[in-house]
Structure 1
Amino acid sequence: MMPDESLRAASLRVTRPRVALLDAVQTHPHADTETLISAVRATLPDVSHQAVYDSLHALTAAGLLRRIQPSGLTGRYETRVGDNHHHVVCRSCGAIEDVDCAVGETPCLTAEQSHGFTIDEAEVVYWGICPACSSSASSTEGSP
């Protein structure tokens, strides 16, 4: 679905910053706010930080974006929403990739006890070293 169609479907006003932001998040999945501001400014040079922050808030509240924040990292945004997928994070460079739910249902992990909560999502973050950092580390191990 095109960004303007997504905005209308969510009953949001179609604005240039919102369209540019949706495009930026689609192009840069799991990007932080500063990266997204730079990407939006590539197409809208005069957009303010506040306009991007306001758009991030509105798009996240409307369910068009998902905000994730793995431990120790700044908040990141993605357009993949509503499917309860998880993430793998590189301990070295902070790269983030999507990991599909092992079972494929929401939630894919069932809590032993809900304590009265109506549970609708389970969050799992896998941590490790990405291929680029692994090959970089192994190539420097043999260096004097």
Structure 2
Amino acid sequence: MSGCVFCGIVAGEVPAFRVADEPDGVAFLDTRPVFKGHVLVVPRTHLVALTDLPTDDLAGYFGLVQRIAGAVESGLGSGGTFVAQNNKVSQSVPHLHTHVVPRTKGDGLRGFFWPRHRYADDAEAQTYADRVAAALSAG
């Protein structure tokens, strides 16, 4: 897609510190890493959100994400990884991408990056569960 920096990286028109370039996607260092070694994995095709990724491409794409997570851990000696994805909201680049962030015990990253909100009670929680389940079965 014209003007998409990630499409430019995939095409080789925008420089990036590539980690992998495979049929299922391209992985490269994030220019604004949470921690050094933070990798972004993108599909080769311009898609905005996870819901746009064809079902037939899930195994290949997430297989690449899984291999990158293992490589970040073993290659950097991290204790693990944080793997995350924003869909539409909070995407600084509107192209599907998965963050693979190296983690070490005591690195200062606590849970998710946003505050938590409790349900008022079990009835409210059940209402949310029911709404999601209904949309899943409709869809």
Q: Same fold judged by TM-score > 0.5?
A: no
Q: Quick one: higher RCO (CA 8 Å, sep 6+), 1 or 2?
A: 2
Which TM-score applies when normalising by structure 2? 0.32
Which TM-score applies when normalising by structure 1? 0.31
Instruction: Return the index of the structure with the highest Cα Rg.
Output: 1
